[in-house]
Structure 1
Amino acid sequence: MNEAKDRSSIIPKGVIDISEGNKEIAVRLALQARKNAILIRNNHTRVGACVYTRNGCFYTGFNIQNYCHKSYHAEETAILNYLLSCTSPIDNIIGIVISFSDNDIKRLTFMCGHCRQIVWDHTRNPDLLVTEVDLEGNIIKEIKLKELYPYPYPRD
């Protein structure tokens, strides 16, 4: 039986007080989270994500594949981490960073529809900045959530 990996050190909680800007910190944390993706096969795509807030809090996530039907996407686990840990209003989220490898970026798009809806539902911020980065942290694409997902399923 494989021993479970301790993941407590990869999920930063609370305020990080350093001189970098929030987006730059989120990029670094998304890249770090990506390394911890749980894949069924090694050739599957590793994805990391980091949600960041106005007050300097960061919540990471990575994709988790299962042999059963439901797997979890990095954006989804970052939002779930925020929901489990948040101490501030939900509309405090201002951005999410997603990291892919260069080859994966060429064939994949921004968040899937499922993740777009989850982020929309739980951030309530149409101006949320969605940033996609390569493995070196270079910004590949950046767009506001309302442009990425202009017709979300109604919350009412």
Structure 2
Amino acid sequence: MRVLTFKANPKTIFGIVLAITGIIVIILSFAGNHSEKTEPTSAAIGCANTQERVKYLNSVGWETDGNENKKQIIIPSKFNDVYTRYNDIQKKQGFDLEQYKGKKATIYTYSITNYKSNNNVVADLIVYDGKLIGADLCDPSADSGFLTALSGKD
């Protein structure tokens, strides 16, 4: 039977312990910084039916008569300048249409009844698979039209 011996002085042992501790710290910090990607908060907003959509609009301060217009769309596979700017508005609200490129979605449009002195304002909610993926507030008229985030500020 053979016996393996190791002769080391205290400085060598301290160096080995220090190196092992450093490796453990690096592994733990790497694992902590690269945790599983979570869904954005917007993905948790259910808008599968009219009641949920109206409730969401009310929660951000907008009132509507409850009537909706529904339109099927396909989010472009490649964004042009206009769609890129539109998606920038979405990102400011916690939405991002990038992951839905090329997919079919539904836009639900509601007349807003409590917008300051303007009767033409509508809210658009973009819904994919029962979840809200985008939203905007706009006045589609030619003379005073605008498009902005649901907060009313861009």
* TM-score, structure 1 normalization: 0.25
TM-score by length of 2: 0.25
